[in-house]
Amino acid sequence: MNKFSTRLQTVNGVKDILPKEAFEKRKLEASLVELFRKWGYQEVQPPTIEYYDVVAENDNSIDELFKFIDREGRILALRPDFTTPIARLVAANFKGETLPLRLFYTGNVFRFESTQTGRQREFSQAGVELIGAKGVGADAEVIALAIEAMLACSLKDFKIGIGQVMVTKGLLEEFSQEPADIQTIKQAIITKDFVGLENILLNQKWDGKPRKELLGLATLHGSIEVLSKARKLSNNDGFLQAIEELEQVYDILESYGLSKYIFFDFSILRDFEYYTGIVFEGYTPDLGYPVCGGGRYDNLLSRFGLEKPAVGFALGQERVMLAQKSFSCPPKIDYLVTGGDTKTLLKKAKELRAQGYSAIVDFDGSSAVQVKDNINEVLFVQGGKS
């Protein structure tokens, strides 16, 4: 152990990104940005730091925020995602503008999660928010864009799973129970804890029908045909409308030519309190976590005084990079310019760069040996006194 050993460490849950990975990441980000722009989305960059009250979840004392206190004693937090800061940004800057707004972002987010789960505490997201548009057209656009984003990341064999929190909410409301029970049931459905779900429902002493419906719903999985199966589970209006909208979303995705990537699964609820409609997650084989996720959250903007519906998704760049099988290497430097006097060298390098090549200058005559394998061609320049 030398005396610098602690100084060389990075903080738990964060890491250095070295040239190879940085190259890959930048490339990925560039292709996503290009895609989002083609779909008419404009970039916004909210700050990294927000007031705690902006990003704090309601009634959740155990949050995953990185918190600190500024010099005036106010509590601040590093953004845990982009959706909430962008909701604030829109309410503050776009009140009264023509809607819908199509916004995209890329950047780092920070969550104080247990590092045991293999997730970093600082990670990068890229995503979109479609604000001020309600209905199946908007839902389908965002899902289609999520699929295109997965394709742009050269992911193969991926699937997007679609759920609808209103379907489950509708069923739960119909058999209105204590809020605490509903919370336990939701938790059981989210974690696919069939065992727990069955136990809770048995303890509820619901006879026959409702119990079967909820269990039936949690086990529904598949393509468009599951929607007709789901239809039979309840007569609740909200429930039936939600199913109908899913069918419409499917039809639109078929028109996009993207319906082969999707399946329906009503256990996909994501954050139940936050989302108000369709929800979806993207999966790839051999990666244990979803690569992207999103949904409709019509109540979030009202927290900032703007009653507008919204739908969006975010994609985890590190997870995409884990899922990508092939890695490209950063390109080699085209030229190392050496041989002549400094003036000649600099002039030659400038010329090459202007022509679109990358070039480094061997300013003291030593680089040629050191970095040869990183360089495509060593260019000896004649002229000047050498």
Partner 1 sequence: MEDKITIALPKGKLGNEALELLAKIGLPVEGLVTESRTLLFDYPEAGIRYIICRPTDIPTYVEHGAADLGIVGKDTIVEAGADIFELVDLKFGKCRFVVALPEATLNKYSKQGKFDLRVLNKGRVATKFPKVAEDFFASQGIQVEVIKLHGNIELAPRVGLSEMIVDIVSTGRTLRENGLVAVQNIFEATARLIANRVSYRMKYARLNEISGKLRQILAQEGVNNA
Q: Contact residues for partner 1 (CB under 8 A)?
A: 116-118, 159, 161, 191-196, 198, 219, 221-222, 263, 265, 283-290
Nearer to partner 1, 46 or 290 (CB): 290
How many other β-carbons are positioned within 10 Å of the β-carbon of residue 244?
13
Residue type, 168: T
What is the smallest separation between the CB atom of 202 and partner 1, expressed in angstroms? 12
Q: CB of 280 within 8 A of CB of 146?
A: yes
Q: Check: CB of residue 374 under 8 Å from CB of residue 356.
A: no
Instruction: Return the number of the residue (95 or 221) whose C-beta is nearest partner 1.
Output: 221
Parallel, antiparallel or unpaired: strands 333-338 and 359-361: parallel
Least Cβ distance, residue 288 to partner 1 (angstroms): 3
In this structure, the strands spanning 262-265 and 278-283 are: unpaired
The answer to whether 315 and 127 are in contact (CB under 8 A) is yes
In the complex with partner 1, the residue whose CB is nearer, 184 or 236, is 184
Q: Residue 131 Cβ, how far from partner 1 at the closest point, in Å? A: 29
Two tokens, residue 131: 């604000």
> Least Å distance between CB 139 and partner 1?
20
Residue in this structure with the two tokens 């864009």, named with its chain if needed: 145
Question: Cis peptide leading into 80, omega within 30 of 0?
Answer: no
Provide, rounded to whole angstroms, the least separation between the CB of residue 146 and partner 1: 15
Cα dist. 306→142, 166, 273, 278, 310 in Å?
21, 22, 18, 21, 11
Task: Give the torsion through C-alpha atoms of 234, 237, 238, 243, to 10 deg.
Answer: 60
Least Å from the CB of residue 219 to partner 1 = 8
| CB nearer partner 1, residue 257 or residue 285 | 285
Q: How far is the CB of 221 from partner 1 (least distance, A)?
A: 5
| d(C-alpha 49, C-alpha 64), whole Å | 15
Choice between 174 and 198, CB closer to partner 1: 198
| Cβ closest to partner 1, residue 159 vs residue 347 | 159
Nearer of residues 52 and 194 to partner 1, judged by Cβ: 194
3-class state of residue 234 by DSSP: coil
The least CB distance from residue 163 to partner 1, in Å, is: 11
Closer to partner 1 by Cβ: residue 117 or 235: 117
Please enumerate in sequence order all residues whose Cβ is within 8 A of that of 300, keeping only pairs 6 or more positions apart, or say none.
Answer: 83, 84, 87, 274, 310
Alpha-carbon distance 146 to 35, whole Å? 10
